[in-house]
Amino acid sequence: MSAEKVLVVEDERAQRDALTQYLGRAGYAVTAVATGEAALERLAAEKWAVLLTDLRLPGADGLAVVRQARERDDELGVLLMTAYASVESAIEALRIGAHDYLLKPLILEEVARKVRRLVEHRALVGENARLRRALQQPADGHDLVAVSPAMSAVADWVRRAAATRATVLLTGETGTGKEVVARAIHQKGPDADQPFLAVNLAALPETMVESELFGHERGAFTGAERRREGLLRAAGAGTVFLDEVAELPSSAQAKLLRALESHEVQPLGSDATATFEARVVAATNRDLALESQAGRFREDLYYRLNVLRIRLPPLRERPEDIPGLVTSLLARHGSRPGARIPAVSPEALRALCRHPWRGNVRELSNVLERATILADDGRIDLDQLPDDVRESAAPRLSLPEAVDRFERSHIALVLRLCDGNRERAAEELGISAATLYRRLERLGLKGRDRNGTV
Ligand SMILES: Nc1ncnc2c1ncn2[C@@H]1O[C@H](COP(=O)(O)OP(=O)(O)OP(=O)(O)O)[C@@H](O)[C@H]1O
Ligand SMILES: [Mg+2]
């Protein structure tokens, strides 16, 4: 196979040379140019696998290059380089089609890793598009946003898991994306045209769990008027998604273990067994190891499910994913009839990136849906965000800054209570008058009015 072609656009000479050399050694055919115009010329002249461009460029800027490049070739992988200070433009770039961005100063290994991922991704996109055309069916579900290293690792595991039929266990807090990942594993696999059947075991009455999973014969129990195949068989060679698997009643746990080991089920009310092919993906937000130690979950079933485990990190551990998620979720909400996709102000985005998101991606999604409705002028600003999220935009203070701030307001309060009498205030504060004077000076409270009001 000939080397994949990478176009590097970077105005700084040393940086450009370093990238050319490093990526060249990594096996790519690298061409480097220094201006936006030169980049546009090269993009028009030939086909490239990956475009790696600086955001600030002389002539046409990085955003214009990205936009034109993506318009011309929708399979091109686009990677943007930017200084931390201009992360908002990086987000704009993601919106218009860049796949990922790198923060400067660059770490060359990371550059090579991201380039490689885009090359692989491009091969996959091409393949998926061909498969989809062949199947004549639209891609449903949503793409997995995975920008952070932690989520890139998840995406790698998804790809690996998709290639096998091993049982997969997905763990992670509520709203972290376990179901999206389960669907992605199904969709990226060779049997994506087969059914994906999901069941929420927490929502199902205990008496129905077994018949739902393993099926029943007609008349197997009161009310069983018709025979039921059960999800494991109904899914064919597809996937059965067992959500909230920790809630599985203990008799069903034993039966599920047997089913997974033998690939056979025994429908309720039947003497015969029937084979099934489906692959099982299970999810839980509990710690199954703990549950099994506590005797609430069969240990042998836990080991059987745990063949391949993928842990979804909480959103607060991966704020790098937030800009991409915002873009993807807004596009989703905006695609509903009557809605249009709003722009997000830099302040609002900063708040979204800083918020701790206890409800993870689901909470982010709900906040954006509400903000979309409130954004009459097509723009989401701080005003359209809930109070607790908006407060996250406040700059974080260092400990000395926070201490100063507290000290200042406490001293001001005591001074006010003492009618501005500094001797009395010092006594009340438990420090000497001299110390109080020094503090007032340091905190910039000196020279205020007699009442010590700040
Ligand atoms: N990486 C991601 N990329 C795009 N969308 C995501 C991602 N992660 C989560 N979402 C979206 O966030 C919402 C919640 O995800 P999901 O339902 O998969 O969470 P979950 O882990 O199954 O939560 P629970 O434990 O509460 O069932 C969904 O709308 C999903 O599409
Ligand atoms: Mg779920």
CATH number for the domain including 69? 3.40.50.2300
Residue 453 binned pLDDT confidence (cut-offs 50, 70, 90): very low
Residue nearest to atom 24 of ligand 1 (CA): 174
Q: How many CB atoms lie within 10 A of CB 119?
A: 17
Q: How far away, in angstroms, is 155 Cα from ligand 1 center?
A: 14
Span from the CA of 155 to the centroid of ligand 2 (angstroms)? 18
Instruction: Please compute the mean of the pLDDT values over residues 138-149 and round it to a whole number.
Output: 69
Token pair of 145 as six digits = 């946003």
Q: Which residues pair with 83 in a beta bridge?
A: 104
Is ligand 1 within 6 A of the CB of residue 51? no
Q: Would you say residue 136 lies in a domain?
A: no
Q: How far, in Å, from the CA of 167 to the mean position of ligand 1?
A: 20
Give the residue, out of 173, 361, 365, with the most ligand 1 atoms within 8 A of its beta carbon, to mutate for a pocket test. 361
Q: 160 alpha carbon to ligand 1 midpoint, in Å? A: 20
Instruction: Please write the tens of the pLDDT for every residue from 260-282.
Output: 999 999 998 888 899 999 999 99
CA of 173 to the centre of ligand 2 (A): 10
> Lowest-pLDDT range, 163-167, 278-282, 390-394, 414-418?
390-394
163 and 289 in a single domain? The answer is yes
Asked if 238 contacts 195 with a C-beta cutoff of 8 angstroms, the reply is: yes
Q: Tell me the ligand closest to 368's alpha carbon.
A: 1
| pLDDT given at position 105 | 84
CA atoms within a 13 Å half-sphere pointing along the CA-CB vector of 288? 26
pLDDT-based confidence at residue 142 (cuts at 50, 70, 90): low
| pLDDT score of 129 | 54
Residue 449, domain member (yes or no): no
Q: Read off the tokens for 117.
A: 């991922």
285 alpha carbon, closest ligand: 1
State the CATH number of the domain containing residue 360: 1.10.8.60
| Residues 229 and 341 occupy one common structural domain | no
Give yes or no: residues 249 and 383 share one domain: no
Report pTM: 0.61
pLDDT in tens, 285-321: 999 999 999 999 999 999 999 889 999 999 999 999 9
Instruction: Answer yes or no: is the C-beta of 152 below 6 A from any ligand 1 atom.
Output: no
Closest C-alpha residue for ligand 1 atom 13:
362
In a domain, 420, yes or no: yes
| End residue of a domain, out of 267, 283, 311 | 311
**Residue 201 CA, ligand 2 centroid: distance in Å:** 11
**Among the listed residues 352, 300, 321, the one whose alpha carbon sits nearest the alpha carbon of residue 176:** 321
**Inter-axis angle of helices 346-354 and 87-95, nearest 10:** 100
* pLDDT of res. 243: 95
pLDDT band at 3 (very low <50, low <70, confident <90, very high): confident
Cβ–ligand 1 distance for 244 under 6 Å, the answer no
Three-class HEC string of the chain? CCCCEEEEECCCHHHHHHHHHHHHHCCCEEEEECCHHHHHHHHHHCCCCEEEEECCCCCCCHHHHHHHHHHHCCCCEEEEEEEHHHHHHHHHHHHCCCCEEEEECCCHHHHHHHHHHHHHHHHHHHHHHHHHHHHCCCCCCCCCCCCCHHHHHHHHHHHHHHCCCCCEEEECCCCCCHHHHHHHHHHHCCCCCCCEEEEECCCCCHHHHHHHHHCECCCCCCCCCCCECCHHHHCCCCEEEEECHHHCCHHHHHHHHHHHHHCEECCECCCCCEECCCEEEEEECCCHHHHHHCCCCCHHHHHHHCCEEEECCCHHHCHHHHHHHHHHHHHHHHCCCCCCCCEECHHHHHHHHHCCCCCHHHHHHHHHHHHHHHCCCCEECHHHCCHHHHHCCCCCCCHHHHHHHHHHHHHHHHHHHCCCCHHHHHHHHCCCHHHHHHHHHHCCCCCCCCCCCC
Nearest to 377 by CA among 337, 344, 336, 333: 344
The pair phi, psi for residue 119, each rounded to 5°, is -60, -45
**219: pLDDT confidence band, cut at 50, 70 and 90?**
confident
CA of 71 to the centre of ligand 2 (A): 36
Looking at the fold, whether 348 and 249 belong to one and the same domain comes out as no
For residues 367 and 289, state if they share a domain: no
Give me the domain span that covers residue 206: 149-311
Of 70-74, 137-141, 351-355, give the lowest mean pLDDT range.
137-141
Residue 405 is part of a domain; what is its CATH number?
1.10.10
Give the number of the ligand closest to the Cα of residue 362. Answer: 1
Q: Is residue 142 part of a domain?
A: no
141 located within any domain: no
Regarding whether 163 and 307 lie in a shared domain, the answer is yes
Ligand 1 in contact with 362 (CB < 6 A)? yes
Residue of 148, 176, 287, 357 to test ligand 1 pocket, by largest number of atoms within 8 Å of CB: 176
- Domain assignment present for 352: yes
- The minimum-distance atom of ligand 1 relative to the CA of 200 is 27
**Is 176 touching ligand 1 by the criterion CB < 6 Å?**
yes
CB distance 281 to 170 below 8 Å: yes
Q: Ligand 1 centre and the CA of 140: distance in Å? A: 15
174 and 298 within one domain: yes
C-alpha span between 169 and 178 (Å, rounded)? 10
**Which residue in 57, 105, 49 sits closest to 78, CA to CA?**
49
| Statement to judge: residues 430 and 359 lie in one domain | no
The answer to whether residues 368 and 426 belong to one domain is: no
Whether residues 68 and 211 share a domain: the answer is no
CATH of the domain at 244: 3.40.50.300
> How many Cα atoms occupy the beta-carbon half-sphere of 210 within 13 Å?
21
Same domain, 382 and 344: yes
Inter-residue contact 284 to 328 (CB < 8 Å): no
In ligand 1, the atom with minimum distance to the C-alpha of 243 is 27
Share of the chain above pLDDT 70, in %: 89
Domain endpoint, select from 270, 294, 311: 311
Q: Is the pLDDT of residue 388 over 50?
A: yes
155, part of any domain: yes
* 452 domain residue, yes or no: no
- For the Cβ of 365 lying below 6 angstroms from any atom of ligand 1, the answer is yes
Q: Is 245 in the same domain as 293?
A: yes
Domain count for the chain: 4
| Domain end among 311, 342, 361 | 311
Q: Which of 362, 365, 366, 368 to mutate to test the pocket of ligand 1 (most atoms within 8 A of CB)?
A: 362
